[in-house]
Amino acid sequence: NGAWHKVRDDATLRFMFVAAVFYGLSTFEGSFMAIRPVNSLSHYTDWTVGHVHSGTLGWVAMIVFGAIYTLVPKLSGRDGMAWPQAVEWHFWLAVAGTLVYVVSLWNAGITQGLMWRAYDENGSLSYSFIESVEAMRPYYAARTLGGALFLAGLVICVLNCRATMRAAGSRADSADRPLAAHPAE
């Protein structure tokens, strides 16, 4: 109960827990994509792009956000962030945005791979390149939505960090300000 309670309530730990999950998934997916039949389907498609972004947004960005929410209060001499509820919003926007973004790319990639290898009875490709691009429209719309959610969370993070540093700065200014306004000679 204690450890789960800590992960549930400590946003730093939550970001890092999600990062570890994405790291494991990306590592497994990379090995899975190296299998020849899977590689022949996924190669040159958005599936590969989705794989990279699951590692980038899911692992790297989440671990960085966790580090930011650990370091900014410590550097500011505070116990926590200025807006704790904003950290919660950032967490859920980042997780939802990453999932929507990555899942849309995985689905787009599988659709592309299947369309590019479909042949008609004459041995010609069943779909033109333009038809495969047009089939991507809903996936790219979802990708845009996921990216917007992730970006909204990032903006909240930046504003929260700024508020945390400014609140600390106003306290530090009164204690660290020199007595004389002119420079020493």
Specify the residue for token string 């990306």: 26
- Residue 179 confidence (pLDDT) above 80: no
Q: Is 184 part of a structural domain of the chain?
A: no
Supply the pTM of this predicted model: 0.84
Is 181 part of a structural domain of the chain? no
Give DSSP secondary structure letters for 110-168: HHHHHHHT-B-TTSSBSS-HHHHHHTTHHHHHHHHHHHHHHHHHHHHHHHHHHHHHHHH
pLDDT, one tens digit per residue, over 72-125 is: 999 999 999 999 999 999 999 999 999 999 999 999 999 999 999 999 999 999
Domain of 37, in residue numbers: 13-169
Closest CA to 98 of 50, 32, 158, 161: 50
Is residue 180 assigned to a domain?
no
Please state, rounded to an integer, the average pLDDT across all residues of the chain: 90
- In whole angstroms, how far apart are CA 142 and each of 39, 56, 94, 103, 139? 24, 18, 15, 9, 5
The pLDDT confidence band at residue 178, using thresholds 50, 70 and 90, is low
CA 144 to each of CA 100, 140, 159: distance values in angstroms, whole numbers, following the listed order: 9, 6, 22
Tokens of residue 60, six digits: 């790297």
Inside any domain, residue 25: yes
The pLDDT value recorded for residue 120 is: 94
Q: Is residue 118 part of a domain?
A: yes
Terminal alpha carbon distance of the chain: 62
Confidence of residue 167 (pLDDT cuts 50, 70, 90): confident
Q: Which of 136, 178, 129, 122 is nearest to 50 (CA)?
A: 136
Q: What is the pLDDT of residue 159?
A: 98
Q: What is the pLDDT of residue 157?
A: 98
Average of per-residue pLDDT across 112-139: 95
Confidence of residue 1 (pLDDT cuts 50, 70, 90): low
Specify if 164 maps to a domain: yes
How many independent structural domains does the chain possess? 1
- Does the residue 165 lie in any domain? yes
Nearest-angstrom CA–CA distance, 96 and 150: 8
pLDDT tier for residue 8 given thresholds of 50, 70 and 90 = low
Q: Determine, yes or no, domain membership for 32.
A: yes
